[in-house]
Structure 1
Amino acid sequence: MTLGLLIMAAVFFVLFVERYVRSRRRRLFITDIVQTVRAFAGSGAGREGRITDVQTAEEKAAASVLNQAMDSVLKQITRLSEERDVLTHILETMTTGVIYVSTNGRIERMNQAAEQMFLRPIADVLGTDHWTVIHNYELGAAIDNALLFGHKWSSEMNLRKGLTVSVQVIPIPLDAPAGAGPRQIYTALLLCNDVSQWRRIEQMRSDFVANVSHELKTPITAIQGFAETLLDGEKDAQIQTEFLRVIHDESIRMKNLVADLLTLTRLESGNGGLSFSKVNLQEVVAASVRVIEPIAQAAQVVVENTVTADLVVWGAEEQLKQVVLNLVTNAIHYTPLGGVVTVFAESYVDRVKIHVADTGIGIPKEHQERVFERFYRVDRDRSRATGGTGLGLAIAKHIVQTHGGEIGVDSEPGLGSDFWFTVSRLQGLPTETPDKV
């Protein structure tokens, strides 16, 4: 009897211990799950939470399901993080200024392009009311209308001197939060595109058309007037000869103007059909000076060519000759009687710099940056008197730029001018020190 009781007690004890162990294992397993999930939730996408301490088949099955779920979540987090990084990179590299305004009118996002347009650091404006950045009443009101009523808006405005932008305000509808009622909720996206360069080009085109009309009108009017006088029966032979000479000169001027316009149009449309090859600039300068010598003699101006060394460059020979001719002719026209025009060169490792220096009247500083514009003249009457079209320096500039070079002028009023341009050379020198050649 006693033995039976002992055996029964032992059995109950074993069952109790087994149940206790199983219960404890289950609690430990659940605790492991909770700790793993918490670690996973707080770790972000950098570390993987895994349930590995499993014993029974039931625990292994549960752990497998949870591990797979966490793997899936981790992949989603990684994908979203990568997409966020890509979108941030796109936003920051856009040339369009972007400002995102929340429903309460505060700036939530702003890219670098917008920062440069509005001249406000991004860190200073995030979280502030859009009126602290948008000082234009019309634009600020458009943002408010987008937030309140979902109204789109677009316009063009000058944010400041020299900066014209095309602006769009786009409302973005959001799901209304619980208890907000039937009213639609909006955020707003502000897009700003810098169109300053396009407006400057349009203005230049408008000025170009006006200048061409004016430049053509002058010779046409002169030709028409003198021709009508001759047709009316002018008998004086001397007057007839004088009028015919004027008609001839004005027709040549008009022909030159049309030719220069066509040349400039070709150059601006691309490379102007230029054919590049090895060119010796020493020969180009010498040939140009020979051509221009009669004009220099008539103007009683001495042209000195000091370029004697071979300077081989990569370029279009006839067009480079035109650059030299234009610069030397321009120098002669603005140099008084007895003056001197000197052509010299500086040779560098990678380029040749040709100078055309004169002892003429010089150019005021405020005009120096504009002398290469089409039809721009410092002295209009003097330019027309010399027969210039107002396009010579513009043509020279485009030819040099087509060669990948630079062109400029250094001048002081009363002390003369030094026009120069550069062309890439083929044969280098051992140092960067310029040599006059």
Structure 2
Amino acid sequence: MTIRLRTRTAVAALSAMLLLATPVATAQALSGPAPARAASTAAATLALPRPTGPYAVGTEVLHLTDHGRADPWVPESGDRELMVSLYYPARPGRPGATAPYVSTGEARLVLTGAGLEGTVQPAALSELGTHARTGARTAPGHLPLVLLSPGFGNPRATMTSLAEDLASRGYVVASVDHPYESVGTELPDGRLLTCVACEKMESAPTKEAREELGRLLSTGRAADLSFVLDRLTGRTPGWRNSRMIDRRRVAVAGHSIGGSAAASAMLADPRFDAGINMDGTFQERVPASGLGERPFMMLGTTSHSPGGGDESWDQGWQHLDGWKRWIGVEGSGHSSFTDVPVLEDRMGVTLDPSVTLSTDRQVRIARDYVGAFLDQHLRGRHQRLLDGPTPRNPEVVFQQP
């Protein structure tokens, strides 16, 4: 089984963010020829795509500590600490400032890791335009909850565009940073955590050791996600607006190792009603007993094809016993389901030359198919988009193992 954690790819994807204010010569050295606009566009004019739903979007960051678990990667650091960005439907109006894409401290860590400190200002990352506003009043209603887990090495920020869009469509979204599994996570007290798990994966001596680390990542993230769900929906909720969450309608989704963690979370916790794996190898095998007939969607590149190189998708598909879809996107790449294509487009650089889809198509497909899945399974609204191929989406392939 291929371990699809993409440690180096994750770091390279983050390197895309660093080029927002990089001179053309540096951009060319890292990524090949770049259009002149990559050097002249000011960071302040760069922004994520606008959300498509009818709601304004509010956001708040939570720092949560699981006192029942020591951190699995750095046990001497004490209890497991998590950073969570919440996105929620908000009332009209524009109170508060838009949230930073990443903190300045996190930006500095990414810059240092890429050897670009002093070349790119941290503000080029932290001031990337977002659309969610702090301090926004919650919209009325009792709404479904979606938990998101990012790829290995990536901060939760790389899921921001999808999170904002889902919130604009009427979902509460919790995007989770898994400490020591990202190149940069800043805690409220100023501590800056690096990717210790990445270092362990890089130094693993055997394929078996890497597979075991992959399983630990997936199951450990599942525990993180269940803890976040506890804090958002339990008797003593950790978020002041938890009353707007409908605990009977909860989904979990993720990219890469986060997609594997979505399946692991469903295996471990029956409170997750539906799940999505976006282009991630299943690090924990789906057992023959399946997921208890709960719906699950596998959305990824066409390199994940039946009988292809990743046998975990074939095995997982066979054991999924509820509503299920295996959807491939022709012309996409591993990071097409994250913010990375947007960052590449804004900078005029290319990190994955195999991707032939436009940025707009990558963003639209990810938003539309994830949104349709959630509307169908958390809101009970049948979505024709999930029934099969459509003329408007010729790149989308419904795999038939």
Q: Which has the higher helix share?
A: 1
Fold match (TM-score > 0.5): no
Which protein has greater RCO, CA pairs closer than 8 Å, 6+ apart? 2
Category of TM-score, reference length = shorter chain: under 0.3
Q: TM-score, normalised by structure 2?
A: 0.19
